[in-house]
Amino acid sequence: MTPTAVDTISVLVGVLFMNAFHEGSHAYAAWWCGDRRPEILRQRTILNPIPHIHPVLTILVPLVTYFLFGVPLMGARVLVDAGKIGHRKMALVGIAGPIGNILFLGFVFLGTAMAVNGGWIDEVDAARSTAFRVLTALTLLTIFVAGTNLLPFPPADGSRIVAAVLPESVRNVYFKLAPLGLVLFFVTVFWASGQLAVWFPVLREWSPKWAWGFAHQLSELQVTLQDGVFTLSDGLRKMGLDLAALRSGRKG
């Protein structure tokens, strides 16, 4: 089903909260590891997306990438001071971001299952429900973001894990590759999505075969996640939690 304007706006708003979980987890890990500046806790509360917003990285970039190839890629304002923490502990700060994504994923997945359990989402025709489309899209997108952030190339969070074991001289050169890594990442996504072939038809013959396989795997993963939502909803009923029955009982 083609996404509606409401779908698009809802997904982008959801992405802001996903980003808050990601960046908030970085902040709490940084505080725990030694960066005790007051603004870390005051400005980086995990459920408030506003302090994490950067006008270009968090607003413009996801809007452009979403409308170009359907995936809102984004960045955020970095507040962590690596000099106060050290490179070994920065590995913990780096991995905390994807862990925040997983936490957000759990909330979204459980929320979707409870919406189905309560009858707010029709189990028979869930695809027509805006909430179901948005929540399952956010679930898939969160997995994608967590996975790409674990890539071992700067500026992805996974690069912090690699940097923790590199000699200082190599580490300095490694981090200087961040702009190149960012450009290569965006070019790869544009290439894999087929957008480059639209702009440059000569590239159509060189479209990466792995991209189609990857897209197919994502499609299968989305179906699996949707099935998992219904399975969890049924499991909640078997455990005695039937929100739909409670709602109908109140109405009666």
Show contacts of 52-56: CB within 8 Å, 24+ apart: 52/16, 52/19, 52/20, 52/23, 52/24, 52/76, 52/77, 53/16, 53/77
Residue 158 pLDDT > 50, yes or no?
Answer: yes
Query: pLDDT tens digit string along 187-216?
Result: 777 776 666 666 767 666 666 565 556 666
pLDDT score for 61? 81
- The Cα 100–Cα 180 span in angstroms is 26
Q: Is the dihedral of CA 192, 196, 200, 201 positive or negative?
A: positive
Q: Where are the domains of the chain?
A: 5-251
Q: What is the pTM of this model?
A: 0.83
**What is the mean predicted confidence (pLDDT) over 210-237?**
78
Q: Share the mean pLDDT of the chain.
A: 82
CA-based R_g, the chain, Å: 20
Q: Rounded distance, CA 140 to CA 199, Å?
A: 27
Per-residue pLDDT for 96 more than 90?
Answer: yes
Residue 4: DSSP 8-state: P
- The pLDDT confidence band at residue 50, using thresholds 50, 70 and 90, is confident
